[in-house]
Amino acid sequence: MEYDLDSSSILQKTNKLQINSDFFLVFSTVGGEVSYRDPKSGAVLIKAMCHIFKEYAHKDDIEELFRKVSIYLRDFGVHNETETLCLQTCERTNIGFDKKFYFNCSQLKENGS
């Protein structure tokens, strides 16, 4: 079986080659800032994602889920018994991810998971 590794044949057939598309990137913080991690309970971003996805993944698309994660990080931060120790903002980048993307959590609910 032979494969054509030359993109020029693809360009001739389609007249354009889409290189960067369908990416939704999430970084735990914005450039120049730090990302927090509790030694016992783990990364703040992952904890926020788990909380928000558990609550809303059955009805919200991925853009809305990460908007809520960002708000959660901003509003709740990392606390000890007496004060807020830090706040964190995640960075979201959408590159050609133009359709709504949903996780199908209804199967989890049906199975009792």
- pTM, full prediction: 0.68
What structural domains does the chain harbor?
A: 26-111 (3.30.70.1470)
Closest of 38, 44, 40, 66 to residue 53, by C-alpha: 66
Please list the pLDDT of the chain residue by residue as tens digits (113 residues). Answer: 555 555 555 555 555 556 778 888 999 888 888 888 878 888 889 999 999 999 999 889 999 999 999 999 888 766 666 666 667 888 999 888 888 888 875 654 554 54
Closest of 48, 53, 63 to residue 101, by C-alpha: 63
Instruction: Give, rounded to a whole angstrom, the gap between the first and last alpha carbons of the chain.
Output: 44
